Amino acid sequence: MPIFLSIGIVVLDQLIKFIVAHEMFPGMSFPVIQDIFHITFVLNPGAAFGILAHQRSFFIVMGIAIVLLGIGLLPYIRRQCPMFRYGTALLIGGAFGNLIDRIRFGHVIDFFDFRIWPVFNIADIAIVLGVGAIIYAILFKMHAAENS
């Protein structure tokens, strides 16, 4: 089932990015909740907070490495607790969603804008939740299973 989560993240991420890119122009913003949440079309050439801007090759290599590592470790991942498996699925789906953008456009399309945080996208949410779930599983779930 985690594979369907990865695929779902990629499809949803790419669909929303397609809609944003075809209905808006870069820099365009409209409020969903005035001064709290906007949809803002941003072309992000870097990572979170714009760090390592214009390092396209680096991000492509890292994205490919994450996806291939996830596929290569699939037998190991399948034996782990659900939190670890689903966290890995979120991480891979998010990494692949942003990888598609970097290969196609040279940047990532971002659009969720809460005005107090840098603009981000669905793939970014999946990556953060996935890494959080993996860390939680490693610290609390997998260790507990070993001691049982």
Instruction: Point out the residues that are catalytic.
Output: 110, 124
CA 99/CA 106 separation, integer angstroms = 9
Q: Which amino acid is at 94?
A: G
Per the CB < 8 A criterion, the answer to whether 54 and 45 are in contact is yes
Q: Could you identify the residue written with the tokens 């994205």?
A: 63
User: For 49, which DSSP code?
Assistant: G
